[in-house]
Every structure is written in structure tokens, then in C-alpha cells.
Amino acid sequence: MNLNQCPVLVDHNTHIAVRELDLPIQIEKVALRTPDSPIHQINPLGRVPALQLDDGTLITENSAILPYLADQVPGTPLFAAAGTTERAQIQSWLGYLSAEIHTATFRPLNRPERYSAAETAHPGIRAQAQVQILKAFEHIEQHLTDRQWLVGERYTLADAYLGVFSNWLLRLGGPFNELHAIGRLREQWRERPAVQQALKAEGLL
């Protein structure tokens, strides 16, 4: 497959994976909250990440895009061979991060209007979302208590994805500052050249 012409409309984690894997992919930054954003022409859901292949095929969802990108670099330490337990564990964390963290908890925090049209309800939705975010991260914190990375002894796609959310926790403060194992992972994640390059390119460093 020739990825040279493939644009990917990114969120941070896909951007980081593209840089970790050193793939020849064209990255486009798009506005998400404007009706005229080019994302609507690419992904009818109006969401990133969205990967468009050179034959026009569209792939969405982090849980599909991240493994697909890693599979373009056979043997990459970021993922694992088909049929292995390690691969299933990495995919399990990708599913957890996408469904339980990204969508189930950060979405009501960031988009309370999707859960109630009544603006007066939004502070309550946001407050409850923070409770759920904490619970979802405590599960990860426990897992990381005696290990450095989510799966095995090395940094994988799952850690690249978790690093992004661990960075979002800095904005929340309070009890989130007590998640020390996640804090350690964030520090190591932030030191990675691919992460630094992606954050810098996005004006976030």
C-alpha cells in the first residue's frame, strides 16, 4: 500500500502514532466546532481521527486506525503479531481508552449539550463526568501500580493513546493529581521525541 497521498485528519494520539511509526502521511489540522470544517466532507460524523486512503477508503475510530497504522510497519514494538495474547491485550486497552475514557467520560465533560438541551443541567453533567473519569482512571492507576507500561515491558500504541488522556488530566487537577502511576507514565510519554514533535507541531508545547 502506498500511503504517500493519504491524508489523516488527526487527534493528538493519531498524530503521535504517525510520528512514532515515521509514516509518510499527510496530516491536516481541522477545526471541529465549525459547520464549514472540512471534516464534514471526510467523516459524516464530524469527528477526528479520520484516515483517508489513496483509493478514497475512509477509516475512522482510534481502535481501528491505530492498529492499521502500526500494521504498516511489520515488527514495530508499538504493536504485536496477529494471534498473540499481547496483541489482544493492546487492543483491549485501545477499546477501553476509546469507549470508557474518550467517549463515555470525556464527551459529557466537553459536550454536555449532547446530554441535555437545558443549559442549567450542564454543570451537573460535567460534575458527574468528572466522577466517572476518576473511576475510569483509577482502574488504570491500579493496573500501573507495579508496572511502567500498560502491556508487557515496553511502550505500545496503548501507552501512546493513554499519554494523551493523562495530559488532559492536568487541566482537571484535584484528585487527578493523586494518580501517581499515571503521572509517571505521562512524564515518560512527554519525553518521547515523537510526542514532542507532535505537540510542537500542534502548538501545544
Ligand X SMILES: N[C@@H](CCC(=O)N[C@@H](CS)C(=O)NCC(=O)O)C(=O)O
**Contacting residues toward ligand X, per CB under 6 A:** 11, 32, 46-49, 61-62, 98, 102-103
The four Cα atoms 71, 30, 36, 2 give a dihedral, to 10 degrees, of: -30
H or E stretch covering 50: strand 50-52
9 CB burial (10 A radius; 0-12, 13-18, 19+): buried
Q: What minimum distance in Å lies between the beta carbon of 154 and ligand X?
A: 23
Q: Report which DSSP code applies to 178.
A: G
Q: Is 48 or 195 the residue whose CB approaches ligand X more closely?
A: 48
Cell of 7: 491524508
Q: Are 205 and 198 in contact (CB under 8 A)?
A: no
83 CB burial (10 A radius; 0-12, 13-18, 19+): exposed
Q: Is 32 or 88 the residue whose CB approaches ligand X more closely?
A: 32
Q: What minimum distance in Å lies between the beta carbon of 32 and ligand X?
A: 5
Q: What minimum distance in Å lies between the beta carbon of 205 and ligand X?
A: 18
Q: What minimum distance in Å lies between the beta carbon of 145 and ligand X?
A: 26
Position closest to ligand X via CB = 47
Task: Give the burial string for 166-179 (b: 16+ CB within 10 Å, else e).
Answer: bbbbeeeeeebeeb
Q: Is 48 or 160 the residue whose CB approaches ligand X more closely?
A: 48
Q: Is 4 or 103 the residue whose CB approaches ligand X more closely?
A: 103
Q: What minimum distance in Å lies between the beta carbon of 42 and ligand X?
A: 11
Cell of 170: 492536568
Q: Is 78 or 108 the residue whose CB approaches ligand X more closely?
A: 108
